[in-house]
Chain A
């Protein structure tokens, strides 16, 4: 057993927001068959949203580009999915939420409380949804206000998910910490786009979107490394993790746990595979606890 902001996890691999998190049954499948230590839901907002037109996600040689546009059935529509996930997944379920203002974040959090999420993750970092996500997450005052607003109305841990599309991510991390965040999650996708040279059209329906997968791992490692230095609260590492080696690297940069998104493309049991790989590594290296890895690289000077 492994403790993260008070939650008990079987292993430190967590399903990232927006990936296989639209339905309760899907979250349960990732938890039970994939053996994720915890699961994060799709980001849920105040009103139903269909998202951007397709293509909304494409695979590149170096990773993935997506512009889903925060499709979600709104908090009343999602409540039964959350209840299913809570009832049948047997792991902590973290509700990812978004809004356009502190008041909207508060409304969504309160609306999902009857579903008894184990924690909330505030999405202030989606790079391709006008007025939401990164529009808030690049403004430290707003990040602090949003965090404080949600902390005010819930009595479970609150994680804040950060965007790397800012000049100094530690400044936003500090704002989340000041607002009372229990952890930060880094990173959301990195702004990107692709153009179809046969026609000249940008490929994504939204024209541009966010890069994830292998290509963003070094960006994520650096963000996590800097946040670990700057903050007191735990940092949860996400971005490009697709093997146990990637997870160990992220932990050595300072991640208290890791989230995995795009790599479910390869296989669903990526979570059990990575946690088994971490265990074997700990044994081989003679570490008694995974905690010994966290931030290890900071001591190596």
Chain B
């Protein structure tokens, strides 16, 4: 599939370094947690989780994301997708916990909405560096309870999402969906493993993507060899036991880089 042409219809400023770009195409079949390859023409093509059927929510970090931040309503980029395996949706009787850190909220906000629409009772632990960096607090609040943590204590618990998690009765939940910076996910992983609730957890991973369609092998993780772009990006906690999560990743050349 050649990239389709998506025209920006609206831009929301979520935080000083995060913006949501709404475009004129709806991915009707998208499952929360799936991603698109965003082609910033003449620069690069990068993976982004869908934050709704017609939006991506982007943190400015480097060349391609900075170029995206220069775009205005009416400008366009290319999109391929949706790709990959999303979060599994709860059923009506199930209770769901979301753990979102930073821009990890992007794929989890549509998940919260879909889970709540399915009738599941939703709780969210939302973390960020500071109050102004909390992404999609309202969307999570619409769907259910929200517990907040900030590194600097400007809102909610001072500390990390794990400080909130450690006080919750995790056995009360049927599903736990996690996305955020790798260091955060690794500490959540350890906590869930300690509490013996890994089997009901799912994590959305980031690795360097080249093809994005499961052929080139750039995004494979150790020791399973699973492809993050195709077998993931969402994996069950059990699939990640004995994996490289939190230890190392690979750069564009395939070299291991410590986390």
The listed residue (B41, B44, B211, B252) touching A66 by CB distance below 8 A is: B211
Residue A64 CB within 8 A of the other chain: yes
Do residues A198 and B5 form an inter-chain contact, with CB atoms below 8 A? yes
CA gap between A122 and B151 in the complex, in Å: 52
Do residues B46 and A54 form an inter-chain contact, with CB atoms below 8 A? yes
CA gap between A57 and B83 in the complex, in Å: 14
CA gap between A48 and B252 in the complex, in Å: 10
Do residues B224 and A42 form an inter-chain contact, with CB atoms below 8 A? no
Known contacts A196-B41, A205-B44; decide if A71 and B225 are in contact (CB<8 Å).
no
Residue A6 CB within 8 A of the other chain: no
Residue A272 CB within 8 A of the other chain: no
Residue A111 CB within 8 A of the other chain: no
Do residues B80 and A48 form an inter-chain contact, with CB atoms below 8 A? no
Residues of A within 8 A of B37 (CB): 54-55
Known contacts A25-B225, A54-B210, A71-B210; decide if A205 and B45 are in contact (CB<8 Å).
yes
Known contacts A23-B225, A25-B221, A25-B222; decide if A68 and B216 are in contact (CB<8 Å).
yes
Interface centre among B80, B220, B225 (most CB of A within 10 A): B225
Within 8 A of A (CB), among B219-235: 220-227
Do residues B252 and A50 form an inter-chain contact, with CB atoms below 8 A? yes
CA gap between A49 and B39 in the complex, in Å: 22
Within 8 A of B (CB), among A15-72: 18-23, 25-30, 42, 48-51, 53-60, 64, 66, 68, 71-72
How many residue pairs, one in A and one in B, have C-beta atoms under 8 Å apart? 136
CA gap between A117 and B8 in the complex, in Å: 50
Interface of B is mostly: loop
Do residues A58 and B252 form an inter-chain contact, with CB atoms below 8 A? no
Residue B1 CB within 8 A of the other chain: yes
Do residues B42 and A59 form an inter-chain contact, with CB atoms below 8 A? no
CA gap between A18 and B252 in the complex, in Å: 14
Residues of B within 8 A of A196 (CB): 2-3, 5, 41, 78
Known contacts A60-B2, A199-B5; decide if A265 and B45 are in contact (CB<8 Å).
no
The listed residue (A26, A55, A74, A203) touching B217 by CB distance below 8 A is: A26
Residues of A within 8 A of B41 (CB): 196, 199, 201
Residue B183 CB within 8 A of the other chain: no
Closest partner residue, chain B, to A22 (CB atom)? B217
Residue A114 CB within 8 A of the other chain: no
The listed residue (A51, A59, A66, A77) touching B1 by CB distance below 8 A is: A59
Do residues A20 and B217 form an inter-chain contact, with CB atoms below 8 A? yes
Interface centre among A19, A66, A198, A262 (most CB of B within 10 A): A198
Known contacts A51-B252, A205-B44; decide if A265 and B223 are in contact (CB<8 Å).
no
Known contacts A42-B217, A68-B216; decide if A23 and B76 are in contact (CB<8 Å).
no
CA gap between A203 and B39 in the complex, in Å: 9
Within 8 A of B (CB), among A137-153: none
Residue B255 CB within 8 A of the other chain: yes
Residue tally, chain A, CB below 8 Å to B: 46
CA gap between A262 and B211 in the complex, in Å: 12
Interface centre among A194, A201, A261 (most CB of B within 10 A): A201
Do residues A48 and B255 form an inter-chain contact, with CB atoms below 8 A? yes
Q: How far is the CB of A234 from the nearest CB of chain B, in Å?
A: 26
Within 8 A of A (CB), among B194-217: 209-217
Residues of A within 8 A of B215 (CB): 19-20, 57, 64, 261-262, 264-265
Do residues A54 and B44 form an inter-chain contact, with CB atoms below 8 A? yes
Q: How far is the CB of B85 from the nearest CB of chain A, in Å?
A: 14
Residue A277 CB within 8 A of the other chain: no
CA gap between A25 and B244 in the complex, in Å: 11
Do residues A53 and B225 form an inter-chain contact, with CB atoms below 8 A? no
Q: How far is the CB of A29 from the nearest CB of chain B, in Å?
A: 3
Do residues B210 and A68 form an inter-chain contact, with CB atoms below 8 A? yes
Residue A73 CB within 8 A of the other chain: yes
Residues of A within 8 A of B1 (CB): 58-59
Within 8 A of A (CB), among B148-168: none
Known contacts A48-B255, A66-B211; decide if A55 and B39 are in contact (CB<8 Å).
yes
Q: A53-B43, A58-B80 are in contact. List 6 more A-B contacts (CB 8 A).
A: A20-B220, A20-B227, A50-B251, A54-B39, A71-B210, A78-B254
Q: List 29 A-B contacts (CB under 8 A).
A: A19-B215, A22-B250, A23-B217, A23-B220, A25-B224, A26-B217, A26-B220, A29-B220, A29-B224, A29-B225, A29-B226, A42-B254, A49-B253, A54-B39, A54-B44, A55-B3, A56-B216, A59-B213, A60-B2, A71-B252, A72-B254, A73-B254, A73-B255, A74-B255, A77-B254, A81-B254, A196-B3, A196-B78, A264-B215
